[in-house]
Amino acid sequence: MRRALTGLSVLVYLFLLPSAWALNAGLGEPPSSVVRDTPYATAKGFSEAVHRGDYALAAHYLDLDFLPREQQRERGLLLARQLKFVLDRKLPLALSSLSKEPQGDPSEPRFDELGRLSVGDVAYPIRLAHVAVGGGKRMWVFSEATVRAIAPLYEAHGPARLAKVLPSVMFERSLLGMEPWQWLGLLAVVVGAWVLALLLERLTLAVAARLVKWTGMRWDDALVPAGSGPLRVLYFALLGWVGVLLLMLPPMGQAAARLLNTSLIIVAVAWLVLRLLRVTAQYVQENVTKGAKDPAKARGLQTQLAMLRHVFEVTTYVVAAALLLMQFETVRNVGVSLLASAGIAGLFIGLAAQKSISSLLAGIQLSITQPIRIGDTVIVENEWGTVEEITLTYVVVAVWDERRLVIPIAQFLDKPFQNWSKSMGGSMLGPVLVQMDFTTDIDAVRAELRRIVENEGRELWDGKVASVVVLDVLEKTLMVRCLVSAHPSKLFDLRCLVRERMMVWLRAKPEWLPITRTEPRQTVQVPVPESRPEPPESPENESGEEVRPGSAVG
């Protein structure tokens, strides 16, 4: 009877004591933050705990009941840390495959599998088991078979060898999910990758420099030095990625390293493309445009080359920026949501970019039609100057007084302007007007003009036109026009030279300078006829009648 009562009391005690039926009783009561209702919640909670370095909390997500209670706490910390390295290296993205339902996978309600890892010929399934914890409750934890397999998996896929070499202090604490040996390893990877990248860059350039000597082109000779810098960044990114894989970083660290390395690769490739465009443009300009026989055609090729280079450079920048932004999930989702939610955002962006797009299209149109070219002499905005630079959005005109006019490129397509270099011959006519006296010998003026352009102006004159005509006969002088031809950039100087030398020549012949004549005109005397004396008045008789001479009186 006493034995029966003792057994009954033990059963009642075990029934009333929750810890007797609790999972992992040796770990104590789990904190309220431990959620093990679904396979996904268990795996996520374990991952967050181990990457915070809270291995004591992570041990509650393991089935440790096969261990003695007094060993569960110590062994649980070690097993949680070892499982972290195994999952981070072999199954870093497997959480998305787990069920978020309390009953788990309907086809297999007892387990939910993350994947399988092999050690030699043995394959170990990584599973979460739906175990009973007493009182009719069930929870999801890493199964006993999985926990038993942690040791061989860690030996094969974890940093077990480093643990035998490095002191234990390197593995005890965790900062931002990374242990001290990982931080030191990351520093060593950065320094080592940079040094190796520098050595590999020099080796690559040295080998490339020897190879290009076998070719007859000079383009590849200039291309080899252009790789200095981009190749170093490219090698650094590749070597850094290899080093990061060896460090077994947590998922967050792997994502950051992947983002950084991918960004560096994009920047290096874009940098190398820009260098290639610059070297190619310089080579074409030095060997094609300068070797052209027609200066106008050379300037046209130079303009097209500059515009194409700008187009490809802008395209490279846009593509590189797009690839960089596509790595950020937030930016990509915002952009997709703005474009897909409503057309208002796209409409606003289109209206805001209307001028930019029109300027870009205007630049492409200008490079094809070429109303202006680099080096052309133009008159725009009532200013005389030379086209110095053409970009996709504006044109820089060097004015004669060293000022620079920055003009929107669309203005050259929408408004009229003068292009003095557009003619096929590459020369223009310039008049020099001089007033001379009526007695000037025009043939002597023609001879003097010929002497001026052939001797003093031979570096300015193109040898085509040098003529003299009487343009107009004014009230007091003759208007004489001296017409000369020259390249548009030299025409102004030639006209000034002709004007100056012609005045020096006329000063030696003052009779041909304009003279104001003031001598009076000679008056003509018109003869006046002699006047006859008038006859005396006739006397009157008494009767008042006129008495004529010779008439009888009375």
Q: What is the 3-state secondary structure (H, E, C) of 62-101?
A: ECCCCCCHHHHHHHHHHHHHHHHHHHHHHCCCHHHHCCCC
Q: Check which CATH number belongs to the domain holding 385 and give it.
A: 2.30.30.60
Alpha carbon of residue 389 to chain centroid: 18
Amino acid 453: pLDDT: 92
- Please tell me the distance from the alpha carbon of residue 327 to that of residue 336, in angstroms, as a whole number: 14
Is residue 383 situated within a structural domain? Answer: yes
CA–CA distance, 223 with 274 (Å, rounded to integer):
11
**CA distance linking residue 385 with residue 401, whole number of Å:** 9
**Minimum mean pLDDT among 83-87, 168-172, 498-502: which range?**
168-172
Q: Note whether 214 and 336 are same-domain residues.
A: yes
Does a structural domain hold residue 287?
A: yes
Q: Residues 26-50: what's their mean pLDDT? A: 85
Instruction: Assess if residue 106 is contained within a domain.
Output: yes
Please tell me the predicted confidence (pLDDT) of residue 484: 93
* Residue where the block lists tokens 């408004």: 415
For 390-430, the DSSP string reads E-SSEEEEEETTS-EEEEETTHHHHS--EETT-SSSS-EEE
Residue 24 lies in a domain: yes
302 and 187 within one domain: yes
Q: Which residues contact 117 (CB under 8 A, 6 or more apart)?
A: 86, 90, 91, 123, 124, 126, 153, 157
| Contact partners, residue 205, CB within 8 Å, separation at least 6 | 224, 225, 227, 228, 231
Percent of the chain at pLDDT > 90 equals: 8
User: β-pairing, 428-436 with 418-419?
Assistant: unpaired
In contact, 487 and 423? CB cutoff 8 Å: no
> Are 317 and 406 in a shared domain?
no
Residue 458 pLDDT exceeds 70:
yes
Q: Are 459 and 411 in contact (CB under 8 A)?
A: no
* pLDDT at position 108: 77
Q: Looking at per-residue confidence, does 491 or 108 come out higher?
A: 491
Q: CA distances (Å), 553 to each of 536, 541, 545, in order?
A: 18, 9, 11
179-189: per-residue pLDDT in tens?
A: 677 777 788 88
- Pairing of β 404-408 and β 418-419: unpaired
Residue 504 lies in a domain: yes
The helix, strand and coil proportions of the chain, stated in percent and rounded to the nearest 5, come to: 55, 15, 30
Q: Report the DSSP beta bridge partners of residue 479.
A: 435, 472
Q: For residue 554, is it within any domain?
A: no
Number of domains in the chain: 4
Average pLDDT over every residue of 157-161:
69
Check: CB of residue 402 under 8 Å from CB of residue 328: no
Query: What is the pLDDT at residue 433?
Result: 93
pLDDT at residue 5 greater than cutoff 50:
no
Please determine, for residue 386, whether its predicted confidence score (pLDDT) is greater than 80: yes
- Whether residue 51 is predicted with pLDDT greater than 70 in this model: the reply is yes
- Least-confidence region, from 225-229, 322-326, 363-367, 546-550: 546-550
pLDDT at 345: 44
What is the model's pTM?
0.50
| Rg (alpha carbons) of the chain, rounded to whole number | 52
Q: Is residue 531 scored above 80 in pLDDT? A: no
Type of residue numbered 365: Q
* 64 pLDDT above the threshold of 70: yes
DSSP string of 223-288, one letter each residue: HHHHTTTHHHHHHHHHHHHHHHHHHT--HHHHHHHHHHHHHHHHHHHHHHHHHHHHHHHHHHIIII
In the chain, how long is the greatest CA-to-CA distance? 226
- Residue 362 is assigned to a structural domain of this protein: no
Single residue among 356, 384, 400 that ends a domain in this structure: 356
Gap between the terminal Cα atoms of the chain? 226
Query: Which residue segment(s) compose the domain that 449 sits in?
Result: 428-512
Same-domain status, 413 and 435? no
- Examine the domain organization and report whether 263 and 374 are in the same domain: no
pLDDT in tens, 14-37: 444 444 446 778 888 888 888 888
Do 316 and 395 sit in the same domain of this protein?
Answer: no
Give residue-wise pLDDT tens across range 253-280. 777 788 888 888 888 888 888 888 888 7
Q: 141 or 516: which carries more pLDDT confidence?
A: 141
Q: Give CA–CA dist 170/163, Å, rounded.
A: 8
**Shared domain check, 455 and 474:** yes
Q: Does residue 45 surpass a pLDDT of 50?
A: yes
Q: What is the pLDDT of residue 554?
A: 34
Residues 377, 310 within the same domain: no
Pull the structure tokens for residue 554.
């009375």
Inform me whether the pLDDT recorded for 425 exceeds 90. Answer: no
**Statement to judge: residues 323 and 383 lie in one domain:** no
Q: pLDDT category, 349, cuts 50, 70, 90? A: very low
Residues in CB range of 416: below 8 A, 6 or more apart: none
Separation between Cα atoms, residue 261 and residue 239, nearest integer Å = 9
Per-residue pLDDT at 66 exceeds 80: yes
pLDDT at position 297: 61
pLDDT of residue 277: 82
Read off the pLDDT of each residue in 448-458 and give the average, rounded to a whole number.
90
CB atoms inside a 10 Å sphere around CB 537:
7
Mean pLDDT score, 461-472: 90
pLDDT beyond 90 at 483: yes
Question: Residue 294 above 70 pLDDT?
Answer: no
Give the CATH number of the domain where residue 464 resides. 3.30.70.100
Residue 146 sits in the same domain as residue 224: no
DSSP reduced 3-state for 511: helix
Phi, psi dihedral angles at 248 (to 5 degrees) = 55, 50
> In percent, how much of the chain has pLDDT > 70?
71
CA atoms in the 13 A half-sphere facing the CB of 501: 19
User: How confident is residue 470, by pLDDT bands cut at 50, 70 and 90?
Assistant: very high
The predicted pLDDT at position 544 comes to: 45
DSSP string, 356-399: HHHHHHHHHHHHHH-SS-TT-EEEETTEEEEEEEE-SSEEEEEE
Strands 122-134 and 137-142: antiparallel
Residues 326 and 389 placed together within one structural domain of the fold: no
Taking all residues of the chain, what is their mean pLDDT, rounded to a whole number? 76
For 209, 219, 227, 232, 283, the CA distances from 205, given in Å and listed in that order, are 6, 15, 7, 11, 20
Q: Are residues 126 and 265 in the same domain?
A: no
